[in-house]
Structure 1
Amino acid sequence: MAHPLQIRAEILDITPLGAYSRVLLRAPGVASRVRPGHFAAVAVGGGDSSMLLRRAFSIHRADPEQETVSLVVAEHGRGTRELLRSRRGDSLDLVAPLGTAFPQPVGALTALFVGGGYGGAPLFPLAEQIVAQGGAVGFILGASTGERLFGVDSARKLTPDVLVTTDDGSSGIKGQVTLPLAEAVKAIGAEAVYSCGPMAMLRAVTGIATAEGVRSFCAVEEAMACGVGVCMSCVLPVVGEDGVSRFVRSCVEGPCFDGTRVRWDDIGTVPADLYGAAAMGVR
């Protein structure tokens, strides 16, 4: 679990990246605490805004020497629109790093990284770490259209084993990231698959990786209201190490999970065998 700080972070730059934007922040004390898979929660709109809830974003990069962190933001609604209209030199209220990061790899691991759209943002620091430790990596990066792909050039700087998929066929293979996944696992001899993107994608990736006999770790994209474990709006049914299923918070126990422990079919429900379900009146 992370040890977050709440600070006023200075906006150093907002750079367009295809359909997305990179927001670079000076965040003293934060970057040294960041591990791949952590996220940040940002207040938007100022102190008098009616937008009370923070917006959560995966941390794409953290540079302890420069004391900076970068977020990749897609404009979805009023909150992200307000954030992206900020100017250099503006400050915002930042809480980071938050959540539970990906497990730290040990030794020379061979891993396949699967990103859906800008969901791939938190995967790159982990891939770089694996390469630095003498391991090898491959990527499958997908999106609905070519414009919505993220990180293809960065992936190709790390490895020649990069596959691109788009739903409309405007770039790379026409189809979803799961289409070449099984063959890619075999081709590079992957020992683990790391993924981040829409929940349906994570469910499918976990199923294929498990069928191929490799570990699957995923960073879920669950809607969060508070980001710090108070509101319980982001709970998922997850099987614990003791074999008991419980609701756990994506913002605290996650967002990074062993994909085989998430009960994908039961998301949005209260399974009858869930710990505490009887107290909730579930029969």
Structure 2
Amino acid sequence: MLTTRQVDAYHALTVVAPGIAERFRPGHFVSVAVGGSGTSMLTRRAFSVHDVKPDYGGTVEFVFAVNGPGTAWLAERRARDTLDLVGPLGRPFPLPRDPVTCVMVGDEYGSAVLFAVADALQRRGCRVDFVLGGATAGRVFGAMRARRMAETTTLTTGDGSLGMRGGVTDVLPGVIADVRADAVYASGPMETLRGVTAVAVEFDIPVQAAVEERMACGIGVCMTCVLPVIGDDGITRMVRSCVEGPVFRGERVRFDDVGTIPFDAFGAPGGGSRNAG
């Protein structure tokens, strides 16, 4: 059983999945088979979980934009259709032990994953402030909910149709300074995460980033979602977003090298393994 609803430019799909709902932690994602039983679309699609509720035995909601045939098929699902879901998958957001001030930065539908994290932070006594952005007003996800739950909410749009004109990274330094933030939680396109991480590093505060990489299997087998990430030992390794992520410490992800295998990565052709000693 499922329900679908349109949320501005996006689709929100809620599925009854008590097993997933019970084990869910903020930052987890689900892997969904698309196209039906006779489809040629063999790879699954990964979606961050927006909301989990105990209603109807346990429901799971995820948000997506229609970007191709797989998501177009999902957008056409109706009540009583069934979906093949696997989850919860991945590594969730780590939460601070003590009450601190946290800025949640979301771009486009990447914002969806941050609301469950914000709830968990507030339950621990943390202050939460939101910075949300999108290309247009219809592509900013969750502005009303953010305003209800956060101390402050700053909105940006590329065309200036809502909030400040520009991107989330344009306003983030001012927000961090104003609220004296201790940590940043971010989700959105890789380019946004790269910019958000640069700002957090400048302020010398930690940033937890949920990366958006294509994940065909969601369980670490297919290797489509590998990223260059610097380990605790200072060595860069190609790690799988779906298993070691999707949440990483932003400063550990080599955003400039995403899509490549850096020459100094462990096991890379041409010397990475030698450098690792």
Class of the TM-score when normalised by the shorter of the 2 chains: over 0.9
8 Å Cα contact 1:113-1:123 kept in structure 2: yes
1:62 maps to 52
User: Could you state the TM-score of these two structures normalised by the residue count of structure 2?
Assistant: 0.95
Query: Deviation of residue 225 (structure 1)?
Result: 1.6
Decide which structure has greater helix share. 2
Report the counterpart of residue 226 of structure 1 in structure 2. 217
Q: Normalized against structure 1, the TM-score is what?
A: 0.93
Q: What is the aligned-residue RMSD (CA, Å)?
A: 1.6
Map residues 88-237 of structure 1 onto 2, 5 A cutoff.
Answer: 88-237=79-228
> What are structure 1's unaligned runs of at least 5 residues?
1-9
**1:173-226, Cα deviation, whole Å (9 max, x unpaired):** 000101111110011111000100010110010000110111111000011121
Corresponding letter in the other structure for 1:247: M
What is the alpha-carbon distance in structure 1 between the residues aligned to residue 126 and residue 95 of structure 2?
Answer: 13
Q: Would you say how many aligned residue pairs link Structure 1 and Structure 2?
A: 273
Q: What does 1:68-87 correspond to in 2, within 5 Å?
A: 68-87=59-78
Which structure 2 segments of 5+ residues have no match?
none
Name which of 253, 264, 267 aligns with 2:258.
Answer: 267
Shift of 1:95: 0.3
Structure 1, residues 5-48: CA drift from partner, whole Å, max 9, x if none? xxxxx31x101100011101100211111111110111111111
Measure, in 1, the Cα distance between the counterparts of 2:205 and 2:84. Answer: 40
2:158 and 2:271 mapped to 1: Cα distance?
A: 41
Q: Deviations over 1:101-151 (max 9, x none)?
A: 111222212100000011011101111111122110101100000011100
Using the alignment, how far apart are the partners of 2:151 and 2:92 within structure 1? 26
Whole-angstrom distance in 1 between the partners of 2:146 and 2:37: 39
Shift of 1:280: 8.6
Residues 266, 273 of structure 2: 8 Å contact kept = no
Moved more, 62-71 or 123-132: 62-71
Q: Distance in 1 between matches of 2:111 and 2:82?
A: 26
Deviations 1:255-283 (A, max 9, x none): 10000100111112221211101479999
1:18 paired residue number: 8
Partner of 1:5: none
2:83 maps to a residue whose letter is: L
- 1:49 is displaced (CA, Å) by 0.8
Report the more deviating stretch, 124-133 or 197-206: 124-133
For 1:179, what is the secondary structure of its paired residue?
helix
> What's the % identity of the aligned pairs?
49
Aligned counterparts of 2:185 and 2:136: Cα–Cα separation in 1: 22
In the alignment, structure 1 residue 40 sits paired with structure 2 residue 57:
no
CA contact (8 A) 1:235 1:248 kept: yes
In the alignment, the residues of structure 1 paired with residue 93 and residue 121 of structure 2 have an alpha-carbon distance, to the nearest angstrom, of 12
CA distance in 2, matches of 1:164, 1:50: 40
Matched residue, 1:4: none
Runs of at least 4 residues of structure 1 off by over 4 A? Answer: 279-283
CA gap of 1:280–1:45, structure 2 versus 1, over 3 A, is: farther
**1:241 partner SS:** coil
